Amino acid sequence: MVQFLDDMEREKPIRFTSQQLKIATGSFSSILGSGGFGIVYKGIIGINKYVAVKVLTGTSNERIEEQFMAEVSTIGRTHHYNLVRLYGFCFEPSLIALVYEFMVNGSLDKHLFKANQGDMIGFDKLHDIALGTARGLRYLHEECAQRIVHYDIKPGNILLDSNFCAKVADFGLAKLCNRDKTHITMTGGRGTPGYAAPELWLPLPVTHKCDVYSFGMLLFEIIGRRRNMDNTLGDSDQWFPIWAWKRYEKNQLKDLMTNCEIEEKDREVVERMLKVALCCCQYRPETRPIMSIIVKMLEGVLEVPEPLNPFTHLFSGGNESNASVIQRSWNVSGSNWSSSV
């Protein structure tokens, strides 16, 4: 760990003391959010530079150190407009923390699932957020010296700055991998059920294409402005990706647009995004596009191919009920979808 910290200090992130972060956060008085990783506090460093201080906590010191090293060794080496910036870190017996740039508009899930009607983001801006996220992933997969696989792409890990520019965040599960390796060795399931690719929960080879699958699931939630799984709806509407596929398959895009409250002026963009989402969520990783192709398709400079049904593996019989299909999709993801948030 000592050698790791010395190496990272040379990579640019600042090493803060616990006392400096206590002062910066006003004795850790302003909480921005919390989760299984710990608590995030708002702070100020320098001359009115707002930061988010992520204090890592947990029952296992080994797990805390593992997450700390994952985040610092990945995001600490990257510099891209669509990745949240790591300013520095603290590693002391009394405090293990990461210091990130502060994102004034919070996470995307807040705007998709919790916004009042008057506060909803317009679809053109949602498209820009999807495109920014795709560009961030393209950088991680294809432009870094070492490929970085994020493993946990979801709305809660996409942060928005004052201009609603998307920044990929939370690299606690991320992993560096050599480009010459065909797949990544996994020691256990990763990611959030409902967004995680099937191969992350099954004895199958894992590649960076698992992020592509998660990005596709993210696109569905952007299009629908709802969680992909909604138990309050009837069987046929509960899982949005299958519902959206059926609208696409039957050429009923107007029905989808009406249901999702999308204006006619956005028809071309939503159709493109839907086709990209369906391409990203293909069951077999090798049939999913790479992120540079996805960026071009979202930009409209590359035609999106007609997607195949990505959910055929969920149907074992022609008369199977929607509820049974949904239950099987839970099993493929490794857990009940209600635990995905």
- Which amino acids are annotated as binding site, given as ranges? 54
User: CA separation (Å) from 98 to 16, 55, 73, 102, 165?
Assistant: 9, 7, 12, 12, 22
Query: In this structure, how many other beta carbons lie within 10 angstroms of the beta carbon of residue 83?
Result: 23
State which amino acid sits at residue 40. V
Separation of alpha carbons 236 and 51, rounded Å: 44
Which pair of tokens denotes residue 59?
């029952």
The catalytic residue among 6, 7, 119, 152 is 152
Binding residues for ATP: 54
- Is the CB of residue 222 less than 8 Å from the CB of residue 126? yes
Catalytic annotation present for 230? no
Distance CA 98, CA 89 (A): 4
The pair phi, psi for residue 150, each rounded to 5°, is -80, -45
Token pair listed for 62: 């080994």
Q: Are strands 31-35 and 86-92 parallel, antiparallel or unpaired?
A: unpaired
**Mind telling me the catalytic residues?**
152
